[in-house]
Amino acid sequence: MYNKRSDKIFDEMFMQDGTVREPYRTIESWLLEQPRGGLKQKSKDAEAIFRRLGITFAVYGSNETTERLIPFDIIPRIIAAAEWRRLERGIEQRVRALNAFLHDIYHRQEIIRAGRVPEELILKNSAFCPEMMGHDPARGIYSHIIGVDLVRVSENEFYVLEDNLRTPSGVSYMIEDREAMMRLMPELFAKYRVAPVEHYPENLRRTLQSVAPPACKGDPVIAVLTPGIFNSAFFEHSFLADEMGVELCQGDDLFVDDGFVYMRTTRQPKRVDVIYRRVDDDYLDPLTFRKDSTLGVPGLFSAYRAGNVTIVNAPGTGIADDKAVYTYVPQIIEFYTGEKPILNNVPTYNCTNPDERAYVLENLQDLVVKEVHGSGGYGMLVGPASTRKDRAEFTRRIKARPNNYIVQPTLALSTCPTFVEKGIAPRHVDLRPFVLMGDQIRITPGGLTRVALKDGSLVVNSSQGGGTKDTWILED
């Protein structure tokens, strides 16, 4: 049916002796029962569902159409209940520590005074927002919606690849993947006890309501602030606003009057208490940040500082998911919790250190280079898949701006069975669980599994040809 790639790579379905791991045994039987052409037809049906719903994403800088359908793999990824419980503990520990870090650096900066994090790394970082100094957001929470990217390399070994605390995306694909699977394969669901993900919009609304500012009287009015239809994640902005039953707004739909934010309506302006923004910091308010921004709301930041509206996630949260700061997250966890990290970082080289930079430049063919502020798989060098020309270019870049890059070993990401053109084959995957922080911490059981559809590829980003899978967390 399907052969694992190599004994050096952990396969989530097969053990080294070729036997099927317990969570996948029912899947194996189901796959063997499929009629010839059955999986191909289900894959076509899934594509038709997503095309009808308009589940697309934009690809910037592409010579092809700017809108693409995200490839969806019909074979689910399965994670046992005990495995998930450990991940949950590690994720919760991590997001609590990062929130404490954000509060500290915008107040007393004790972690800098203690010498645990370099001062210049924070204060000279473009993601640091001086305008947030001394501000206390509602409930003391800075990052309310978080995506934690995880990779698996062995039976019991997971690593955090990166943290997403600014405006993490992908949750709509997680929900729609599950909906498609339930419609296409109800007989398979009947054989498993799978933890639900469809409560996410309801939990998101509860979280947003719980962080309404003290000035809010009665039920909080919530709005989703989007840059507009040309944004790569516009489908998600619209989807979440619709699922929560709140307004989807662009900057010119909102205005500030006497320190409060209002929404324009066909009748009279309506005061807004909580703004779930999907607009980057620099574009939020032209009176405080970029003066040429037409995406934000003039005066919004002053209303926020006055405690009259809550912005989710708070401005300045990007400093906590900066890739250079990432290298210090284990120390951050120990500093604020007094505990060792449950989930490890990927070992990372600091190119500002001459010895480490020399090692990196001599071994680029075996390493992964990432821009500190890069995202979406852009600005990366994957050493084993690179050309001599690519490596020469990155050598030049690293020498010119060593503080603009982090470098990591090439991890042997786990593989899962995936339906591709030639049949069922192993493909590398990662996982982005979604976390909500408000009146409590809510972690959706599962998350978005991204899959590298190209044979041997380690790049799972949809912008780089990756797809998605439904993630099944088994209940005890």
| pLDDT tier at 65, thresholds 50, 70, 90 | very low
Residue 253, classified by CB atoms within 10 Å of its CB into exposed (0-12), middle (13-18) or buried (19+), is: middle
CATH classification of 347-409, choosing from 1.20.120.1460, 3.30.1490.270, 3.40.50.720, 3.40.50.150? 3.30.1490.270
Q: For the domain made up of 214-308, give the CATH fold.
A: Rossmann fold (3.40.50)
Percentages of the chain per state (helix, strand, coil), in multiples of 5: 35, 25, 40
- Write down the domain spans for the chain: 214-308, 347-409
pLDDT tens-digit map of 341-367? 999 999 999 888 899 999 999 999 999
- Token look-up 């509060």 returns 103
Task: Note the pLDDT tens digit of each residue in 360-386.
Answer: 999 999 999 998 876 655 678 988 889
- Are 441 and 435 in contact by the 8 Å Cβ rule? The answer is yes
pLDDT of residue 59: 53
Tell me the whole-structure pTM to 2 decimals.
0.92
Q: What is the mean pLDDT of residues 91-108?
A: 98
CA 38 from chain centre, in angstroms, equals 33
Average confidence (pLDDT) over 61-88: 82
Q: In this predicted structure, what is the pLDDT of residue 466? A: 86
Partners of residue 263 on adjacent β-strands: 254, 270
> Does pLDDT of 239 surpass 60?
yes
**DSSP-derived secondary structure letter, 402:** G
Tokens of residue 214, six digits: 């003290």
Report CA-CA distances (Å) from 468 to 162, 331, 424, 465: 18, 33, 15, 10
Map tokens 């009146």 to a residue: 439
pLDDT band at 62 (very low <50, low <70, confident <90, very high): very low
Query: Percentage of residues in the chain with pLDDT exceeding 70?
Result: 95
CB 304 within 8 A of CB 260: no
SS3 of 469, please? strand
Confidence of residue 53 (pLDDT cuts 50, 70, 90): confident
Is the distance from CB of 406 to CB of 349 less than 8 angstroms?
A: yes
